[in-house]
Structure 1
Amino acid sequence: MDADHAVTALGALSHASRLAAYRSLVQAGEDGLSVGELRDQLELPPATLTAHLNVLRAAGLVSDERQGRVIRVRADYARMNALLAYLTENCCAGDACTPERGCAPKPTRRSKP
């Protein structure tokens, strides 16, 4: 992922309703959610949800598939992982991150405790 794509993805997630929608889709797993299910979870008007999904779709964070009369929306996990990798690339000043300390670089001489 490059900086332009990261900015687009982060911009798409920078609204509370879009972030909530994306988190719901990530949590739903590979099956995703129908637009109706997502709308019920978020309690958003249909037109508002459509507008938010269009922003997420344009950023490549979600995709949808028509299944008869239902539109199923899914998070794009590859894109999510690419964004996370971009954000954490070179973290920890080159040290390996661990589950215990996460991504937290060791203090340097210039760092204050």
Structure 2
Amino acid sequence: MDIDVIAKALKELGHPTRLTIFKSVIRAGYQGIAVGGLQEQLAIPGSTLSHHISSLASAGLLSQRREGRTLYCVAEYDKLQAVIGFLQDECCIDEMTRNIAESDQ
């Protein structure tokens, strides 16, 4: 995945309020959580919540679905896995390469 896409996702998650919102959306599961329920749960003013949701959506971390008059936030789990995978993919690779090189000597 493109490093700029990952950086944007991490930037948006780097804000405490957005991280709290995203964590609540993740906890809600695949059906998502109603924005009104999220607002009530986190005690965040509607305009502030809307701003943060928009930031998370622009990073591809969540999407929104309307059912009648209710707007739901749904986590984009594939995007979350891509961000986590990006960070884990090269975990300890330099150490392993160094150990292989040392064992060849």
For the criterion TM > 0.5, the same-fold answer is yes
Higher relative contact order (CA 8 A, sep 6+): 2
Structure-1-length-normalised TM-score? 0.81
Query: SS at the partner of 1:91?
Result: coil
In the alignment, residue 21 of structure 1 is paired with which amino acid? I
Within 5 Å, which residues of 2 pair with 1:1-113? 1-93=1-93
Measured in 2, the distance between the counterparts of 1:86 and 1:93 equals 13
Count how many residue pairs are aligned between Structure 1 and Structure 2: 98
**Unaligned stretches of 5+ residues in structure 2:** 100-105
Measured in 1, the distance between the counterparts of 2:60 and 2:52 equals 13
In the alignment, residue 20 of structure 2 is paired with which amino acid? A
The percent of aligned pairs where both chains have the same amino acid is 37
**Unaligned stretches of 5+ residues in structure 1:** 95-104
Q: Which has the higher helix share?
A: 2
Report how far residue 92 of structure 1 moved.
2.5
Report how far residue 41 of structure 1 moved.
1.2
Report how far residue 89 of structure 1 moved.
1.1
In the alignment, residue 12 of structure 2 is paired with which amino acid? A
Measured in 2, the distance between the counterparts of 1:26 and 1:4 equals 23
In the alignment, residue 21 of structure 2 is paired with which amino acid? A
Alpha-carbon RMSD across the aligned residues, in angstroms, is 1.7
Report how far residue 2 of structure 1 moved.
1.3
In the alignment, residue 4 of structure 1 is paired with which amino acid? D
Which contiguous aligned blocks of 4+ residues in structure 1 show a shift greater than 3 angstroms? none
